[in-house]
Chains A and B, each alone.
Chain A
Amino acid sequence: MDKDFYNVRGRIFDIQKFSVHDGPGIRSIVFLKGCALRCKWCCNPESQSYDIQQMNMDGKIKTVGRDVTVAEVIEEVLKDFPYFRRSGGGITLSGGECLLQPDFSVALLQAAKYNGISTAIESTGFAKYEVIERLLPYLDVYLMDIKHMNSQKHRLFTSQPNERILENAKKIAENAKRLIIRVPVIPTFNDTVEEITDIAKFAKSLKNVTEIHLLPYHKFGTDKYRWLGREYELEDIKTPSEQKMQEILKAAESVGLNAQIGG
Chain B
Amino acid sequence: MKRFDFDGIAKSPRIDRLINNLFNKAPEIEADRAVLLTEAYKATEGEPIILRRAKAFKNICEKLPVTIRDEELVVGAATKSSRSCQVFPEYSFEWLEKEFDTIEARSADPFYISEETKKELREVYKYWKGKTSSDLATSYMAPSALKAIEHNVFTPGNYFYNGVGHVTVDYKKVLEIGYKGIMNEAKKELALCDISDADFAAKSSFLEAVIISCEAAIIFAKRYSELAYKMANECADSTRKQELLKISENCANVPENGAKTFYEACQSFWFVQLLVQTESSGHSISPGRFDQYMYPYYKKDMDAGNITKEFAQELIDCLWVKLNDFTKVRDLASAEGFAGYSLFQNLIAGGQTPDGRDATNDLSFMTIEANMHVLLPQPSFSVRVWNGTPHEFMIKAAELTRTGVGLPAYYNDEVIIPALVNRGLTLEDARNYNIIGCVEPQCSGKTDGWHDAAFFNMCRIVELVFSNGMDGGERISVETGNVEDFKTFEEFFDAYKAHMEYMIKLMVNADNAIDMAHALRCPLPYLSSMVDDCIKRGKSVQEGGAVYNFTGPQGFGIANMADGLYAIKKLVFDEKKITLAEFKEALKDNYGRSVDDKQATAITTEIVRQIVAAGQAVSEEKIAEIYKMVAQSGGVSEQKKAKYDKLLEMIDALPKFGNDNSEVDALAREVAYTYTKPLEQYKNPRGGSYQAGLYPVSANVPLGAQTGATPDGRLAYTPVADGVSPCAGRDVNGPTAAANSVSKLDHFIASNGTLFNMKFHPSALKGRAGLESFVSLIRAYFDQKGSHMQFNVVSRETLRDAQKNPENYKSLVVRVAGYSALFTTLSKSLQDDIINRTEQGGF
Q: How far is the CA of A82 from the CA of B776 in the complex (A)?
A: 9
Do B770 and A17 touch across chains, with their CB atoms under 8 A apart?
no
Cβ-defined partner of B780 (8 Å) among A19, A21, A29, A86? A86
Q: Which residues of A contact B770 (CB under 8 A)?
A: 20
- Which of B268-276, B293-301, B586-594, B733-741 contacts its partner? B733-741
Who on chain B is nearest to A89 by CB? B776
Q: Which of A16, A18, A82 contacts B783 (CB 8 A)?
A: A82
Question: With an 8 A cutoff between CB atoms, is B842 at the interface?
Answer: yes
Q: What is the distance, in angstroms, from B772's C-beta to the closest C-beta of chain A?
A: 7
Partner of B776, one of A21, A25, A29: A25
- A20 with B737: CB separation less than 8 A: no
CA distance A26 to B764 in the complex (A): 12
Asked if B736 contacts A26 (CB within 8 A), the reply is yes
Q: State whether the Cβ of A195 lies closer than 8 Å to any Cβ in chain B.
A: no
Q: With an 8 A cutoff between CB atoms, is A157 at the interface?
A: no
- How far is B333's CA from A56's CA once the two chains are assembled, in angstroms? 47
Question: Closest chain B residue to A263 by CB distance?
Answer: B769
Give the total number of A-B pairs whose CB atoms are below 8 A apart: 62
A67-111, CB under 8 A of B: which get 1 and which 0? 000000000000110110111010000000000000000000000
B733 touches A82 (CB 8 A): no
Of A20, A25, A85, most B-chain CB atoms within 10 Å = A20
Contact with A along B777-807 (1 / 0, CB 8 A): 1011101100000000000000000000000
**Residues of A with C-beta under 8 A to B740:** 79-80
Residue from A16, A19, A26 having most chain B Cβ neighbours under 10 A: A26
| Contact for A17 among B736, B769, B776, B781, CB less than 8 A | B736
Q: Which residues of A contact B784 (CB under 8 A)?
A: 82
Contact of A86 among B660, B733, B764, B783 (CB under 8 A): B783
Q: Which single member of B660, B772, B842 contacts A79 (CB below 8 Å)?
A: B660
In the bound assembly, the distance between CA atoms of A7 and B299 in angstroms comes to: 62
Cα–Cα, bound, A79→B661 (Å)? 10
CB-defined contacts of A17 to chain B, threshold 8 Å: 733-734, 736-737, 843
A79/B776 in contact, CB under 8 A: no
Cα distance, A92 to B780, chains bound together (Å): 19
| Contacts A79-B660, A79-B737, A80-B740 given; does A20 touch B842 at CB 8 Å | yes
Residues of chain B within 8 A (CB-CB) of A80 are: 736, 740, 780
- Among A18, A21, A80, the most chain B Cβ lie within 10 Å of the Cβ of A18
Q: Which residues of A contact B735 (CB under 8 A)?
A: 18
* Docked complex Cα distance between A25 and B736 (Å): 13
Any chain A CB within 8 A of the CB of B107?
A: no
Name the CB-closest residue of A to B773: A20
Q: Which residues of A contact B772 (CB under 8 A)?
A: 25, 87
B660, B736, B772, most chain A CB atoms within 10 A: B736
Chain A: interface residue total (CB-CB under 8 A): 17
C-alpha spacing A260/B251, complex, angstroms: 56
Is there contact, CB below 8 Å, between B843 and A20? Answer: yes
Interface residue ranges of B824-843 to A (CB < 8 Å): 840, 842-843
Q: Which residues of the partner chain B approach A89 to less than 8 Å between Cβ atoms?
A: 776
Contacts of B842 in A (CB 8 A): 18-21
Which residue in B660, B773, B840 is a CB contact (below 8 Å) of A26? B773
Q: Considering only CB atoms, which chain A residue lies closest to B769 in the complex?
A: A20
Least CB distance from A140 to B in Å reads 17
A84: nearest chain-B partner, CB-CB:
B780
Near B by CB (< 8 A), chain A positions 111-156 give: none
Q: How far is the CA of A26 from the CA of B783 in the complex (A)?
A: 15
Among A19, A21, A26, A79, point to the contact of B777 (Cβ < 8 A).
A26
Whether B734 pairs with A16 at a CB distance below 8 angstroms is: yes
When C-beta atoms are compared, the residue in chain A nearest to B784 turns out to be: A82
Q: How far is the CA of A20 from the CA of B840 in the complex (A)?
A: 12
For B734, B735, B737, the residue with the greatest tally of chain A CB atoms inside 10 Å of its CB is B734
In the complex formed, the residue of A with least CB distance to B662 is A79
Question: Using an 8 Å CB-CB cutoff, how does the interface string of A12-55 with B read, 1 for contact, 0 for none?
Answer: 00001111110001100100000000000000000000000000
User: Which one of A21, A83, A85 contacts B736 once the chains associate, using CB atoms below 8 Å?
Assistant: A83
A18 neighbours in B (Cβ, 8 Å) = 734-737, 777, 840, 842-843
Set B783, B840, B843: member contacting A19, Cβ < 8 A? B843
Q: Which of B109-138 contact A (CB under 8 A)?
A: none
Within 8 A of A (CB), among B640-666: 660
| Contact in complex: B776, A83 (CB < 8 Å) | yes
What is the bound-complex CA distance between A58 and B628, given in angstroms?
38
Bound state CA distance, A17 and B733, in angstroms?
7
B268 to chain A, nearest CB (A): 41
B734/A86 in contact, CB under 8 A: no
Q: Measured between alpha carbons, how far is A85 from B843 in the docked complex, in Å?
A: 19
Contact with A along B381-416 (1 / 0, CB 8 A): 000000000000000000000000000000000000
Give CA–CA (A203, B734) in the complex, Å.
34
B616-654 to A contact mask, C-beta < 8 Å, 1/0 = 000000000000000000000000000000000000000
Contacts of B843 in A (CB 8 A): 16-21, 29
A86 and B779 contacting across the interface, CB-CB below 8 Å: yes
Distance A16 CA – B772 CA, assembled complex (angstroms): 19
Alpha-carbon gap, A87 to B774, bound state (A) = 9
Interface residue ranges of B599-623 to A (CB < 8 Å): none
Question: Within the assembled complex, what's the spacing in Å between the Cα atoms of A82 and B784?
Answer: 8
What residue in chain A is nearest B843 (Cβ atoms)?
A: A19
Do A86 and B736 contact each other (CB < 8 Å), given the known contacts A19-B843, A21-B842?
no
B661 to chain A, nearest CB (A): 10
Q: Using Cβ atoms and an 8 Å threshold, which residues of chain A touch B736?
A: 17-18, 26, 79-80, 83
Residues on B with beta carbons closer than 8 Å to the beta carbon of A19: 842-843
Name A82's closest neighbour in chain B (CB-CB): B780
Q: Within the assembled complex, what's the spacing in Å between the Cα atoms of A17 and B660?
A: 11
Cβ–Cβ < 8 Å partners of A26 in chain B: 736, 773, 776-777, 780
Cβ–Cβ < 8 Å partners of A85 in chain B = 780, 783
Inter-chain CA distance A21–B660, complex, in Å, is: 22
Determine how close the nearest CB of chain B comes to the CB of A55; give it in whole angstroms.
17
| A87 engages B734 (CB within 8 Å) | no
Question: What is the bound-complex CA distance between A202 and B773, given in angstroms?
Answer: 31
CA distance A21 to B733 in the complex (A): 17
Chain A residues within 8 Å of B734, by CB: 16-18
Closest residue to B842 on the A side, CB-wise?
Answer: A20
Q: B779 contacts which chain A residues (CB < 8 A)?
A: 86
B756 to chain A, nearest CB (A): 15
Which residues from B are CB-within-8-Å of A29? 843
C-alpha gap A19/B769 in the complex (Å): 12
Q: Contact: B733 with A25, CB < 8 Å? A: no
- B residues 663-707 in Cβ contact with A at 8 Å: none
Q: Which residues of B contact A83 (CB under 8 A)?
A: 736, 776-777, 780
B270 to chain A, nearest CB (A): 39
Q: How far is the CB of B55 from chain A (nearest CB, A)?
A: 57
Cβ distance A33 to chain B, nearest Cβ, rounded Å? 19
A83 to B735 alpha-carbon distance, docked (Å) = 11
B737–A86 touching, CB < 8 Å: no
Interface centre among A16, A17, A19, A79 (most CB of B within 10 A): A17
Residue of A nearest to B783 (CB): A82
Residues of B within 8 A of A86 (CB): 776-777, 779-780, 783
A202 nearest CB across to chain B (Å): 26
CA distance A20 to B765 in the complex (A): 11
Please give 4 more A-B residue pairs, beta carbons under 8 A apart, in addition to A17-B737, A79-B660. A18-B734, A18-B842, A79-B740, A83-B780
List 5 tightest A-B contacts by C-beta distance, closest first.
A87-B776, A82-B780, A86-B776, A18-B734, A83-B780
28 cross-chain CB contacts under 8 A: A16-B843, A17-B734, A17-B736, A18-B735, A18-B737, A18-B777, A18-B843, A19-B842, A19-B843, A20-B770, A20-B773, A20-B842, A20-B843, A25-B773, A25-B776, A26-B773, A26-B777, A29-B843, A79-B660, A79-B736, A79-B737, A82-B781, A82-B784, A83-B736, A86-B779, A87-B772, A87-B773, A87-B776
Interface residues of A (CB under 8 A from B): 16-21, 25-26, 29, 79-80, 82-83, 85-87, 89
Binding site for A on B (CB under 8 A): 660, 733-737, 740, 764, 769-770, 772-773, 776-777, 779-781, 783-784, 840, 842-843
